[in-house]
Amino acid sequence: MARRQRSLASEAADAFFRLGSGAGLVIGLFWALDHPATPNECTGTSSDSLGKCMGDTLWTTTQPYLLGIGGGLLGGALLALAIILAVRLLTRALRRTPGAEVGAADSRPIRPAVISASVAGPRGRSMIARYPGTCSGCRSTIRTGDRITHVGRQNNRCAACG
């Protein structure tokens, strides 16, 4: 279930990024159409001056479109990225906040058998028994829910034997 939620969140972020980039591109195009360039007047007759004048005219007429579309695309993409990162940071902060909604995508189920997450030493780990069994020290009955010390495979001790 968590994998599906992460996949959906990733797809939503990708779609939002594309939407923001596309919106910026369209806004930039409209800005470029609203601010047309004034072409240069070519007065020279030689091929060098005419070629330079044509190049300058081509650049001055395409410059607003390149700047408007490129700037709009970049601005929309950066704005969408900032919003996506802010939403991700906010959702992570809410998941880690005590008292936040139980069952969030990042929450992991707590195993009821483990009380102490310390590394198992020579005395073992303190746990709550999940299954009935017998103590390897005194052979008393261990019931589900009793506190035990788990030392190794088939080596569980009751609270009295520790």
**pLDDT single digits (tens) 51-86:** 888 888 888 888 888 888 889 989 999 999 999 888
Last residue of a domain, one of 48, 68, 96: 96
- 70, 96, 122 - which closes a domain: 96
Residues 129 and 67 both lie in one domain: no
| Separation between Cα atoms, residue 102 and residue 110, nearest integer Å | 12
Looking at the fold, whether 25 and 75 belong to one and the same domain comes out as yes
- Displacement of CA 83 from its chain's centroid (Å): 12
The helix (run of H) or strand (run of E) holding residue 80 is helix 47-96
* Structural domains in the chain (count): 2
Let me know whether 32 and 84 are in one domain.
Answer: yes
Answer yes or no: do 26 and 90 share one domain: yes
Tell me the percentage of the chain whose pLDDT exceeds 90: 4
Strand pairing class (147-152; 141-142): unpaired
Evaluate whether residue 103 is within a structural domain.
no
Q: pLDDT of 8-30, one tens digit each?
A: 888 888 888 899 889 998 998 89
pLDDT at 106: 47
Within this chain, do residues 84 and 114 fall inside the same structural domain, yes or no? no
Q: What letter represents residue 25's amino acid? A: L
Q: Is 154 left (phi over 0), alpha (psi -120 to 50) or beta?
A: left
Expressed in angstroms, the distance from the first to the final Cα of the chain is: 39
C-alpha–C-alpha distance, residues 77 and 84, integer Å: 10
- Does residue 102 lie in a domain region? no
- Of 132, 126, 129, the C-alpha closest to 113 is 129
